[in-house]
Amino acid sequence: MEAESDEVLWGRVVAGEAQLYGLIWDRHRDRVVRHVIRLGCAPADAEDLTAAAFLELWRRRGSVRFVDGSALPWLIVTSLNVYRNEARARHRYRRFLAALPPPEHAPDPAVMFEDLDPARDARVRAAMTGARPADVRLLAMTALEEFSVKDAAAAIGISESAAKMRLSRGPRSSRCSRHPSPDP
Protein backbone atom coordinates (compact mmCIF):
# COMPACT_ATOMS: atom_id res chain seq x y z
CA MET A 1 0.00 0.00 0.00
CA GLU A 2 2.96 2.31 0.72
CA ALA A 3 3.87 2.22 -2.98
CA GLU A 4 0.52 3.65 -4.03
CA SER A 5 0.52 7.31 -4.95
CA ASP A 6 -1.38 9.89 -2.93
CA GLU A 7 -3.75 10.29 -5.84
CA VAL A 8 -4.68 6.60 -5.81
CA LEU A 9 -4.98 6.58 -2.01
CA TRP A 10 -7.08 9.73 -2.12
CA GLY A 11 -9.46 8.15 -4.57
CA ARG A 12 -9.89 5.27 -2.16
CA VAL A 13 -10.38 7.67 0.80
CA VAL A 14 -13.10 9.55 -1.06
CA ALA A 15 -14.67 6.22 -2.00
CA GLY A 16 -15.03 5.35 1.68
CA GLU A 17 -11.76 3.91 2.95
CA ALA A 18 -11.31 6.60 5.60
CA GLN A 19 -8.42 4.87 7.36
CA LEU A 20 -6.20 5.66 4.37
CA TYR A 21 -6.48 9.37 5.20
CA GLY A 22 -4.13 8.65 8.10
CA LEU A 23 -1.57 7.27 5.69
CA ILE A 24 -1.55 10.53 3.73
CA TRP A 25 -1.27 12.40 7.04
CA ASP A 26 1.69 10.26 8.06
CA ARG A 27 3.40 10.79 4.72
CA HIS A 28 3.21 14.58 4.67
CA ARG A 29 2.58 15.94 8.17
CA ASP A 30 6.24 16.52 9.05
CA ARG A 31 6.98 18.35 5.80
CA VAL A 32 3.93 20.61 6.21
CA VAL A 33 4.82 21.39 9.85
CA ARG A 34 8.40 22.19 8.85
CA HIS A 35 7.16 24.44 6.03
CA VAL A 36 4.84 26.38 8.34
CA ILE A 37 7.65 26.84 10.89
CA ARG A 38 9.90 28.14 8.10
CA LEU A 39 7.21 30.71 7.31
CA GLY A 40 7.76 32.09 10.82
CA CYS A 41 5.19 30.25 12.87
CA ALA A 42 5.86 29.01 16.40
CA PRO A 43 6.12 25.20 16.58
CA ALA A 44 2.99 24.84 18.72
CA ASP A 45 1.00 27.00 16.30
CA ALA A 46 2.49 25.13 13.33
CA GLU A 47 0.80 21.96 14.55
CA ASP A 48 -2.57 23.73 14.55
CA LEU A 49 -2.03 25.25 11.10
CA THR A 50 -0.96 21.88 9.73
CA ALA A 51 -4.15 20.36 11.06
CA ALA A 52 -6.07 23.19 9.38
CA ALA A 53 -4.33 22.48 6.06
CA PHE A 54 -5.27 18.80 6.31
CA LEU A 55 -8.81 19.81 7.18
CA GLU A 56 -8.88 21.83 3.95
CA LEU A 57 -7.62 18.74 2.16
CA TRP A 58 -10.73 16.94 3.33
CA ARG A 59 -13.09 19.87 2.80
CA ARG A 60 -11.89 20.32 -0.77
CA ARG A 61 -11.51 16.63 -1.43
CA GLY A 62 -13.12 16.91 -4.85
CA SER A 63 -10.78 19.63 -6.10
CA VAL A 64 -7.36 18.57 -4.77
CA ARG A 65 -4.61 18.89 -7.38
CA PHE A 66 -1.99 16.19 -7.38
CA VAL A 67 1.47 16.79 -8.83
CA ASP A 68 3.08 13.59 -10.05
CA GLY A 69 0.55 11.70 -7.91
CA SER A 70 1.48 13.56 -4.69
CA ALA A 71 -0.75 15.74 -2.51
CA LEU A 72 2.27 17.40 -0.89
CA PRO A 73 2.50 20.39 -3.27
CA TRP A 74 -1.21 21.09 -2.75
CA LEU A 75 -0.75 20.80 1.04
CA ILE A 76 2.24 23.16 0.97
CA VAL A 77 0.29 25.81 -0.96
CA THR A 78 -2.73 25.31 1.28
CA SER A 79 -0.63 25.58 4.45
CA LEU A 80 0.77 28.88 3.15
CA ASN A 81 -2.79 30.15 2.62
CA VAL A 82 -3.83 28.95 6.07
CA TYR A 83 -0.78 30.68 7.57
CA ARG A 84 -1.59 33.94 5.76
CA ASN A 85 -5.23 33.79 6.88
CA GLU A 86 -4.13 33.25 10.48
CA ALA A 87 -1.62 36.12 10.24
CA ARG A 88 -4.33 38.44 8.87
CA ALA A 89 -6.72 37.41 11.65
CA ARG A 90 -4.00 38.01 14.26
CA HIS A 91 -3.28 41.43 12.73
CA ARG A 92 -7.00 42.35 12.76
CA TYR A 93 -7.21 41.25 16.38
CA ARG A 94 -4.23 43.40 17.37
CA ARG A 95 -5.73 46.41 15.53
CA PHE A 96 -9.02 45.82 17.31
CA LEU A 97 -7.31 45.69 20.70
CA ALA A 98 -5.30 48.84 19.90
CA ALA A 99 -8.51 50.68 18.98
CA LEU A 100 -10.16 49.91 22.31
CA PRO A 101 -10.09 52.72 24.84
CA PRO A 102 -7.54 52.21 27.58
CA PRO A 103 -8.95 50.67 30.72
CA GLU A 104 -9.99 53.04 33.43
CA HIS A 105 -7.61 53.36 36.30
CA ALA A 106 -8.51 50.75 38.85
CA PRO A 107 -8.36 51.86 42.46
CA ASP A 108 -5.80 50.29 44.73
CA PRO A 109 -7.42 47.21 46.29
CA ALA A 110 -5.80 48.06 49.61
CA VAL A 111 -8.16 51.06 49.85
CA MET A 112 -11.08 48.64 50.24
CA PHE A 113 -9.60 47.38 53.51
CA GLU A 114 -8.45 50.64 55.10
CA ASP A 115 -11.50 51.14 57.33
CA LEU A 116 -11.87 47.54 58.48
CA ASP A 117 -11.75 46.92 62.20
CA PRO A 118 -10.50 43.35 62.72
CA ALA A 119 -11.34 43.35 66.44
CA ARG A 120 -14.92 44.48 65.78
CA ASP A 121 -15.30 41.94 62.96
CA ALA A 122 -14.06 39.19 65.29
CA ARG A 123 -16.72 40.19 67.85
CA VAL A 124 -19.40 40.02 65.17
CA ARG A 125 -18.20 36.59 64.03
CA ALA A 126 -18.27 35.42 67.65
CA ALA A 127 -21.86 36.66 67.95
CA MET A 128 -22.75 34.72 64.81
CA THR A 129 -21.42 31.47 66.22
CA GLY A 130 -24.31 29.29 67.20
CA ALA A 131 -26.92 31.77 65.96
CA ARG A 132 -29.77 30.71 63.72
CA PRO A 133 -29.08 31.15 59.98
CA ALA A 134 -31.60 33.99 59.66
CA ASP A 135 -29.96 35.81 62.58
CA VAL A 136 -26.52 35.26 61.06
CA ARG A 137 -27.67 36.86 57.80
CA LEU A 138 -29.19 39.76 59.71
CA LEU A 139 -26.03 40.32 61.75
CA ALA A 140 -23.83 40.06 58.67
CA MET A 141 -25.89 42.65 56.82
CA THR A 142 -26.19 45.13 59.67
CA ALA A 143 -22.92 44.73 61.57
CA LEU A 144 -20.50 43.82 58.80
CA GLU A 145 -22.01 45.37 55.69
CA GLU A 146 -23.60 48.36 57.44
CA PHE A 147 -27.07 48.03 55.95
CA SER A 148 -29.83 49.68 57.93
CA VAL A 149 -32.07 47.37 59.94
CA LYS A 150 -34.92 48.27 57.60
CA ASP A 151 -32.93 47.38 54.44
CA ALA A 152 -31.51 44.18 55.96
CA ALA A 153 -34.99 43.09 57.05
CA ALA A 154 -36.35 43.70 53.55
CA ALA A 155 -33.50 41.71 51.97
CA ILE A 156 -34.04 38.78 54.34
CA GLY A 157 -37.80 38.92 53.98
CA ILE A 158 -38.85 39.83 57.49
CA SER A 159 -40.44 42.93 58.95
CA GLU A 160 -38.30 45.70 60.38
CA SER A 161 -39.79 45.14 63.84
CA ALA A 162 -38.94 41.41 63.65
CA ALA A 163 -35.38 42.31 62.66
CA LYS A 164 -35.07 44.73 65.58
CA MET A 165 -36.39 42.06 67.94
CA ARG A 166 -33.90 39.46 66.65
CA LEU A 167 -31.01 41.88 67.00
CA SER A 168 -32.05 42.86 70.52
CA ARG A 169 -32.41 39.31 71.82
CA GLY A 170 -29.08 38.15 70.37
CA PRO A 171 -26.02 37.64 72.52
CA ARG A 172 -24.49 40.75 74.04
CA SER A 173 -21.48 40.39 71.75
CA SER A 174 -23.77 40.97 68.77
CA ARG A 175 -24.17 44.59 69.81
CA CYS A 176 -21.05 45.55 67.98
CA SER A 177 -22.86 46.85 64.96
CA ARG A 178 -22.27 50.39 63.88
CA HIS A 179 -26.04 50.55 63.75
CA PRO A 180 -26.93 50.08 67.40
CA SER A 181 -29.67 47.64 68.16
CA PRO A 182 -32.79 49.10 69.72
CA ASP A 183 -33.21 48.60 73.41
CA PRO A 184 -35.49 45.67 74.28
Does residue 107 fall inside a structural domain?
Answer: no
The domain that holds 65 is classified in CATH as 1.10.1740.10
Domain containing 122 equals 112-174
Does residue 1 fall inside a structural domain?
Answer: no
Q: Are residues 70 and 146 located together in one domain of the fold?
A: no
- Confidence (pLDDT) at 180: 46
| Boundary-marking domain end, from 48, 66, 99 | 99
What is the average per-residue pLDDT within 139-164?
A: 90
| Boundary-marking domain end, from 72, 99, 126 | 99
Cβ partners under 8 Å of residue 46, min gap 6: 33, 36, 37
Q: Quick one: what percent of the chain has pLDDT higher than 90?
A: 54
What is the count of structural domains for the chain?
2
Cα–Cα distance for residue pair 132/83, rounded to 1 Å: 63
Q: Are residues 95 and 117 located together in one domain of the fold?
A: no
Q: Are residues 35 and 87 located together in one domain of the fold?
A: yes
Does residue 180 fall inside a structural domain?
Answer: no
Terminal-residue alpha carbon distance, the chain: 94
| Boundary-marking domain end, from 99, 126, 143 | 99
Q: Give the CA dihedral 144, 147, 153, 159, nearest 10 degrees.
A: 130
Which is more confidently placed, 74 or 116?
74
Q: Is the pLDDT of residue 92 over 50?
A: yes
The domain that holds 144 is classified in CATH as 1.10.10.10
> What pTM did the predictor assign?
0.54
Interval 169-181: pLDDT, tens: 765 433 444 444 4
Q: Is the pLDDT of residue 62 over 90?
A: no
Q: Is the pLDDT of residue 167 over 80?
A: yes
Does residue 149 fall inside a structural domain?
Answer: yes
Cα–Cα distance for residue pair 181/124, rounded to 1 Å: 13
Cβ partners under 8 Å of residue 162, min gap 6: 153
Q: Are residues 15 and 90 located together in one domain of the fold?
A: yes
Q: Would you say 50 and 79 are in contact if contact means Cβ atoms under 8 Å apart?
A: yes
Q: How confident is the model at residue 132 (pLDDT cuts 50, 70, 90)?
A: confident
- Confidence (pLDDT) at 170: 66
Q: What is the mean pLDDT of the chain?
A: 86
Does residue 105 fall inside a structural domain?
Answer: no
Does residue 183 fall inside a structural domain?
Answer: no
- Confidence (pLDDT) at 125: 82
Q: Are residues 87 and 145 located together in one domain of the fold?
A: no
Q: Are residues 48 and 122 located together in one domain of the fold?
A: no
Q: Are residues 17 and 95 located together in one domain of the fold?
A: yes
Q: Are residues 29 and 77 located together in one domain of the fold?
A: yes
Which is more confidently placed, 109 or 16?
16
